[in-house]
Amino acid sequence: MMRLVIAIDERPVDVLLERVLELVNVRDAEILLVYVLDPGGPEEWERIAGRHLLRPGPLGRGKEHMRAVDRTEGERVLSRAAAAAAAWGATGVEARLLEGDPKHQIVALSATEGADLLVVFVHGREVGPKSIHKPARFMIDHALCPVLIIKG
């Protein structure tokens, strides 16, 4: 039974998952959908905001608001992906929301879960060295399982 880890981001998830279905035989597979919340944005804002004088409220509240928005949106995207994948006829579909540096979290998860295949979506029209963005290249270099790059 194949264990398939699919890294989800904000892009139109329905369209991207259809591409997976075209390329991979998911029947009898266990699907693990993963979305990683990157805390970089809120943390960077907090660092920048710390040097500003006139703070109408606690800095922590702004940061927590941004993190809460990230979490809500991540859960929304993940639930849409899970609903789409549920119709595939796979053995099981699991959705997992993580937090941290996306490339590190996904590589670690694929290792701990014993993934047979890691699916990563790449966007953009570049060719040459920049055709695959840095996180995807990191995952290709460090994942213990084969990595399927789908360009959307």
Residues that bind another protein (CB under 8 A): 10-11, 38-45, 47-59, 61-63, 65-66, 69-70, 73, 77, 100-104, 124, 126, 135
CB of 61 to another protein, least distance (A): 8
CB 88 within 8 A of CB 26: yes
- Among the residues of 52-121, which ranges form H helices? 59-86, 102-112
Of 5 and 135, the one with the shorter C-beta distance to another protein is: 135
CB of 140 to another protein, least distance (A): 16
125: helix, coil or strand? coil
Of 101 and 116, the one with the shorter C-beta distance to another protein is: 101
Of 3 and 103, the one with the shorter C-beta distance to another protein is: 103
CB of 48 to another protein, least distance (A): 5
Neighbours of 89 (CB within 10 A): 11
Structure tokens at 75: 């859960």
3-state helix, strand, coil in the chain (%, to 5): 50, 20, 30
The dihedral through the CA atoms of 55, 56, 61, 65 has a sign that is negative
141: helix, coil or strand? helix
Of 23 and 68, the one with the shorter C-beta distance to another protein is: 68
CB of 29 to another protein, least distance (A): 27
